[in-house]
Amino acid sequence: MFRLQRFTVLITLLSISCALSAQGRSDQPAPSRPLRFDFTPLVGYRIGVNPAIQPAVEGSDARLVFDANPSYGLAFGLRLNEENLVEFRWARQDTRFHLEGALQASIRQRAILDEFHGDFTHEYIPEDWPWVRPFITGSVGATHVSGVEHSSFTRFSFGLGTGIRIFADRHLGFRLQAAWLPIWASPEVKAFVCGSGCVIRLGGKLSSQGEITIGPVLRLTPLSTVPVSSNSSVKFPAQP
């Protein structure tokens, strides 16, 4: 939790510097080179992840419940053009799970979810407000679930999301996103050992997560000089 607090403070400071930098650069001409790379540190909050328990117990609605908890991560991407972006994103949630509706004694153990996704994003650039960019995202990858007291496993996962990027200038901005992130818990896996004679097996269907994330966006220029075509960048209007 202390690491997450430090990470949140860092993102807050970067967001403040974003606004200060925009004020200092408002009178400078736009750079001559296109900005090809995006880097985004992220903090967020995740809910969900209630996978099915296999085999089902007749007359019981037992289910494994992961607590809602903060998350954090990083995204780094390449812009194919001003509207389309491909990113690699890593996100982690340090949480706990418990078993509800079962005959066994109540359990509560730690679990760590690491998500590794490729994100494919399309931005919409309004003609009158090019610094405000709504976007949609589709992602695909894998999620690794591990912990201190039980085994670990990795399963296929994907996501659908939408959000908005607001840029203070060409280099600095802010990102807000909401996403649906299912995990496919198949094939069945003996995932958790919850005490003497208690083994939890997961599998059979999607286990959904919901997440909201925020963070500063840093747009970077390649080291080599790249000629700028007439359609390679969007000019930001001078700010008062």
In this prediction, residue 226 has a pLDDT band, given cuts at 50, 70 and 90, of very low
Architecture of domain 2-22+35-220: Beta Barrel (2.40)
pLDDT in tens, 187-222: 666 555 555 556 666 655 677 889 999 999 999 987
- In this prediction, residue 45 carries a pLDDT of 97
Among 8-12, 44-48, 175-179, name the one with the lowest average pLDDT. 8-12
Gap between the Cα atoms of 55 and 37, Å rounded: 47
**Residue 143's closest CA among 105, 179, 177, 174?**
179
pLDDT computed for residue 113 by the predictor: 93
Strands (E), 15-131: 37-48, 63-66, 69-79, 84-100, 108-123
pLDDT band at 65; cut points 50, 70, 90: confident
Domain ranges of the chain: 2-22+35-220
Confidence of residue 30 (pLDDT cuts 50, 70, 90): very low
144-153 b/e (C-beta count within 10 Å ≥ 16 → b): ebebeebeeb
